[in-house]
Amino acid sequence: MRVKTFEAASMQEALDTIKKEMGEEAFILSTKTKKKAGGFGLREETLIEVTAATDDAAPPAKAAGAEELKVAAPLTYGLRPALESGPARAAASQPARPAAQAAHPAPPPPPMDLQPIRRELLEIKGAVAALKDQETKNTAILRELDELKGMMGRLQKQGMPPSQLALPPAMLSLYGDLVSNDLEPMLALRLCEFAQRSLMEQEGHDDADVIDPEKARLFLRRVIADYIPVASPIQLEPGKTQVAVLVGPTGVGKTTTLAKLAAYAQLHLKQKVALVTLDTYRLAAVDQLQEYARILQVPLHVALTVEDLRSAMRFYQDRSLVLVDTPGHSPKDETMLAQLRTFLDELPNCETHLVLSATTKPRDLAEIAQRYEALKPTRMIFTKLDETSTYGPLLGTLVRVKRPLSYLATGQEVPEALEMATSRRVADLILPGGVQ
């Protein structure tokens, strides 16, 4: 076999040279394009490098009108295996067609009808575009399904079968927010249904699906605010002694809140304040209040008996405000509750604030509130708002206990971490987000 490499400016030129030098039987082994610097290296020329081979046995001469150079079909540029053998190779080395036949070539085939191919191409293009479209749609659907699944998961966790939720999308999303803020599902559902009905009535239509989510949020927040009863702060009247008692379970912040109230009345309102404690079970409790009394420069009376309490009240008749601290104990301890009740009976006109912590589990809150009914609380205080991030239980308890909310405690700092309760503030905590 003879192998030779040719360089030419074009493929045609290379093929012509190969035909001339190696004969009709030559076949192409490889082709390459090469860049070559032109004169003064200013312009690059492109060259075609073709490597061709021919069987030494094959006749080198070129017959006039011989058929075109055999290029291994279907590989246009000589990728035909160099050592091809068998029938294919045999066919390749067949003698050239008779010269007569070559002299009268067959008429060119009729032009190919490209119309069906074009049509097919268009169909394929259409199908690809549709597939792409579908893919985008699928991604969006999958994302929505994911969100829905998350929401359903949250709802199911709260024990509300999804089948019961016939809320339109805007309200369903608000329902999800309320429930994830630990509001009881039944209460959340009722609030949403009520808000939905009222909003549609107000807007004068009956298509729940067109409710604007942002409007619905604002509306629902107003509905919630309407559900929150608030009490005015402790009322101080000139010439009258107001008595406020703080009751509640252990460690909820009764003594701290009492100190905050005392500090506010004494330092800010410039009122005459006195403290009384019924918490004589723990020495540390008396010490704690004693320390606040010392700092605020207000008198403190420790009442061991009902008689003690009675005489303390007589003694403090000139004071605008007497704040009474009580021992914390388990709400299940009914004996203790009954004892405390006998003390409170001595204070018929007092405000009794039930102090609860926002960090208490919702179910426990309900039980505590129910047990403290024995002390006939007239107000409620929620403490430790700073220690939780779910405020739904506040509303649940307020709805259940039906006592107005007087104060909210938001930290340990005395006296600054105490706020007067407002419906708006609590509603914002229960349904935050959106334009305020």
Query: Which residues bind to ligand GTP, rule: CB under 6 A?
Result: 250-256, 279, 285, 328, 383-384, 386-387, 409-412, 417
Q: Give least dist CB 349 to Mg ion, A.
A: 23
Q: How far apart are CA 353 and CA 248, in angstroms?
A: 8
CB 251 → Mg ion: shortest distance, Å? Answer: 8
Label residues 311-333 b or e (16+ Cβ within 10 Å = b): ebbeebeebbbbbbbbbbbebee
DSSP designation for 76: T
Taking the least distance from each CB to Mg ion, the nearer of 175 and 292 is: 292
* Min CB(211)–ligand GTP separation in Å: 37
Element (H, E) at 102: helix 99-103
Close Cβ partners of 296 (under 8 Å, ≥ 6 residues apart): 259, 262, 263, 266, 267, 273
Residue 250 interface partner, choices Mg ion, ligand GTP, none, CB cut-off 5-8 Å depending on type: ligand GTP
3-state class (DSSP) for residue 377? coil
Cβ atoms of 301 and 274 closer than 8 Å: yes
Burial class (CB in 10 A: 0-12, 13-18, 19+), 47: middle
- Min dist. Cβ of residue 247 to ligand GTP (A): 9
Determine the residue with CB nearest ligand GTP.
328
First to last CA, the chain: 90
From the list ligand GTP, Mg ion, none, partner contacted by residue 29 (C-beta under 5 to 8 A by kind): none
Nearer to ligand GTP, 153 or 251 (CB): 251
Query: Quick one: 277 or 320, whose CB is closer to ligand GTP?
Result: 277
Total number of residues binding Mg ion (CB under 5 A)? 2
Q: Let me know if 188 is exposed, middle or buried by CB neighbors in 10 A (0-12, 13-18, 19+).
A: buried
Which segment (102-110, 246-254, 333-341, 373-381) binds Mg ion by CB under 5 A? 246-254
- From the list Mg ion, ligand GTP, none, pick the one residue 76 interacts with, judged by a Cβ distance below 5 to 8 Å according to partner type: none
Stretch (H or E) spanning 35? strand 27-37
Q: Give the Å distances, CA to CA, from 71 to 1, 50, 54.
A: 16, 12, 12
Among 54, 255, 277, 360, binds Mg ion (CB under 5 A): 255
CA 3 to chain centre: 71
How far is the C-alpha of 5 from the C-alpha of 33, rounded, in Å? Answer: 13
Question: Closest distance between ligand GTP and the C-beta of residue 221, in Å?
Answer: 24
Choices 14-22, 200-208, 251-259, 362-370 (CB under 5 A): range interacting with Mg ion: 251-259
Q: Which does 352 bind (CB under 5 to 8 A by kind): Mg ion, ligand GTP, none?
A: none
* 383 is a contact residue toward Mg ion (CB under 5 A): no
**Does 277 participate in binding Mg ion (rule CB under 5 A)?**
no
411 binds, among Mg ion, ligand GTP, none (CB under 5 to 8 A by kind): ligand GTP
Q: How many CB atoms lie within 10 A of CB 239?
A: 6
CB of 309 to ligand GTP, least distance (A): 17
Residue 241 binds: one of ligand GTP, Mg ion, none (C-beta under 5 to 8 A by kind): none
Q: What is the DSSP letter of 230?
A: B
Q: Least separation, in Å, of the C-beta of 416 and ligand GTP?
A: 11
Window contacting Mg ion (CB under 5 A); options: 72-80, 122-130, 247-255, 388-396: 247-255
Give the nearest distance from C-beta 258 to Mg ion in angstroms.
8
Per CB under 5 A, residues contacting Mg ion are 254-255
